Amino acid sequence: MSSKNTVLPVGFDASDAHLTLDGHDLVALGREHGTPLFVFSERQLRHNASSFLAGARAGHDRARVFYASKACSNRRVLEIFHEEGLDIEVNSGGELYKAQRAGYAPRQIVFNGVAKSAVEIDLAIALDIQAINVDAVYELHRIGERARAAGGKARVSLRLVPGIAGGATPGIQTGSATSKFGMTQDEFAEALAWLKTAGDAVDVVGIHLHIGSQVDDTEAYLRSVSFAAEQAERVQQELGAALSHVNLGGGYPIDYSHQPTGSNELGQYAAARKAEAMVRDVAGAARKLIGTGVELLFEPGRAMVGDTAVLLTTIESCRQRGGHPWIYLDAGYNLMIDAAAVRWYYHMVNASRADASYTDMGKMADFRVVGPLCDSADCFFDVEGEYLFKKIMSRLPDLTPAQQEELRGDIIRLPATRRLPAATIPGDIVALLDVGAYTLEEMFQYCGRQRAAAVLLTAEGEVAPMLARDENADLVSQER
Ligand SMILES: Cc1ncc(COP(=O)(O)O)c(C=O)c1O
């Protein structure tokens, strides 16, 4: 049987044995620079930034895109996005420092966070950034006090709870009152009352919301626009102040699943629509409901960087167990914490035998894939979910097969095995796709593992360093 089993993204080619990205042989790159190795594409970074900005502006000509730098705050990424005309969202004094170092002006910066320190608040006030997004009434009081003490005024935007639970998994839903973020309607009323009587050192310049991450649901965004329109109206009426912006947050999805169109597999990791098309509709709805008297802000992170990088990892060992071949990679959850923390799906291609992966299904086999860490949870299947499902099944013997299947889908987030060429052996290099978001800054050195290096495939066809691999000295450099 000869057919394509998954969809390869733009920029990749599997017509020869070795997988290539932007014309570079990924196996050769892995050998030259060592693995594990993150490989970023400048072409894709620029494409994502310019198409999202164009989509937002097509819907609302005063739209601005504040890249959520927590997704990846490597200097080269920040500089490329700056050149493409993006602004920036930061979540700490550290990210503020990185944003400034990459050339962003204060009015290009919004500052989020649920527990900002006094030092961070003072810095944001002193710089007079676009807005401090205020997360709680307590924080509003604190910002007011610090601005008054400094003899200045703080530009703030009020983060509200829209009551909309977007996001692929509970851990990344941020728009409901059961999450830890933002102000509910009662808290909002309290904030407005305080602003009217004691808020002289605070300028309310905007409102803000963010419903979650990997939100593959344009309807949820449209509901958040209606919510934002009502709340913006309320602030303007109660405070008599004209807002300068409405911030609709980020959360736009990418397709991690790489399944052929029409497949329902891995639905929560898929994206039915492109982020730039979704944001055009959302911005257009905001133009109608809120108007163009205010700027419209977006804060995408994942959709800007997620599909701009692959992680190259070498198979170091193998065995046969439980009826399946198992392979052991040199990359574990210390390089991509979401693989363990929220059982995130990263698609795999055997970069050393790419033509087999993409053209000849008859020679494929199903592998259990695990990482190198001394921890059973360091695997690319859902070990906790598989255990829980078995346990629940033993207590519910009367479920029909259909009910069992439904429950399995609810509990187990990841496929038990990965389909790779049957000839896959130690020494092969596997590429994990879409690892650009929420990886580089979340790496850690558990089990004495060096954090991985990263390189950038430049628009000029060169391979430029982005991040050096740890050395053994880095494993002990902070110890005293
Ligand atoms: C306030 C805020 N804005 C933007 C983002 C970026 O989300 P995403 O990467 O899903 O676009 C986040 C992510 O946690 C966030 O908390």
CB of 68 within 6 A of ligand 1: the answer is yes
Distance 164 CA to ligand 1 centre (A): 15
pTM: 0.96
Residues 367 and 420 sit within 8 Å (Cβ to Cβ): yes
**Ligand 1 atom with least separation from CA of 438:** 9
Mutational pocket test of ligand 1: of 88, 299, 439, 441, the residue with most ligand atoms within 8 Å of the beta carbon: 299
Which residue type is seen at 18?
H
**pLDDT at residue 166, as a whole number:** 67
Residues of the chain with pLDDT under 70: 1-6, 166-175, 177, 261-264, 360-362
* E strand segments, 112-217: 131-134, 154-159, 202-208
Please provide the DSSP assignment of 199-237 as one string: -TTEEEEEEE---BSS---HHHHHHHHHHHHHHHHHHHH
**Is there an atom of ligand 1 within 6 Å of 436 CB?**
no
Full DSSP string of 28-40:
HHHHHH-SSEEEE
Contact 22 CB / ligand 1 (< 6 Å): no
Among 67, 70, 169, which is best to mutate for testing ligand 1, by the most ligand atoms less than 8 A from CB?
70
Helix (H/G/I), strand (E/B), else coil: 47: helix
Measuring from atom 13 of ligand 1, which residue has the nearest CA? 213
Could you tell me the residue ranges of all domains in the chain?
Answer: 12-41+307-476, 42-306
Kindly indicate whether the domain formed by 12-41+307-476 is annotated with CATH number 2.40.37.10: yes
DSSP state of 316: E
Contacts of residues 355-360 at CB distance under 8 Å and 24 or more positions apart, as own/partner, are 355/14, 355/15, 355/16, 355/17, 356/421, 356/423, 357/5, 357/6, 357/14, 357/420, 357/421, 358/4, 358/5, 358/6, 358/8, 358/14, 359/2, 359/4, 359/14, 360/1, 360/2, 360/421
Contacts of 323 (CB under 8 A, 6+ apart): none
- C-alpha of residue 432 to centroid of ligand 1, in Å: 23
How many Cβ atoms from other residues are within 10 Å of residue 149's Cβ?
Answer: 11
* Ligand 1 center–CA 174 separation, angstroms: 9
- What's the rounded Cα separation, in Å, for the pair 248 and 298? 5
- Pocket flag, ligand 1, residue 30 (CB < 6 Å): no
168 C-beta neighbours (distance < 10 Å), count:
25
Please write the tens of the pLDDT for every residue from 224-267: 999 999 999 999 999 998 899 999 999 999 999 998 766 667 88
Q: Strand pairing partners for 157?
A: 133, 206
Residue 321 near residue 328, CB atoms below 8 Å: no
pLDDT in tens, 353-408: 998 887 766 689 999 999 999 999 999 999 999 999 999 999 999 999 999 999 99
67 contacts 91 by C-beta, under 8 angstroms? no
Q: Which atom of ligand 1 is nearest to the CA of 253?
A: 10
Which has the closest alpha carbon to 156: 98, 122, 206?
Answer: 206
Q: Which atom of ligand 1 is nearest to the CA of 303?
A: 11
pLDDT at 348: 97
The pLDDT, as a whole number, for residue 2 is 37
Beta bridge partners of 467: 454
Nearest alpha-carbon partner for 304 in 456, 74, 81, 64: 81
Fold of the domain built from segment(s) 42-306: TIM Barrel (3.20.20)
CA of 176 to the centre of ligand 1 (A): 14
pLDDT of residue 1: 33
Nearest atom of ligand 1 to the alpha carbon of 302: 9
Residue 210 C-alpha to ligand 1 middle, in angstroms? 7
8 A C-beta contact, residue 228 and residue 248:
yes
- Which ligand 1 atom lies nearest to the CA of residue 215? 10
Mutate to test the pocket of ligand 1, among 91, 213, 308 (most ligand atoms within 8 A of CB): 213
Cα-to-centroid distance, 306 and ligand 1 (Å): 13
Asked if the domains 12-41+307-476 and 42-306 are classified in one and the same CATH topology, the answer is: no
| For the CA of 159, the nearest atom of ligand 1 | 1
- Name the token pair of 422: 């049957």
Whether residue 438 has its Cβ less than 6 Å from ligand 1: no
The C-alpha atoms of residue 80 and residue 464 are separated, in whole angstroms, by 13
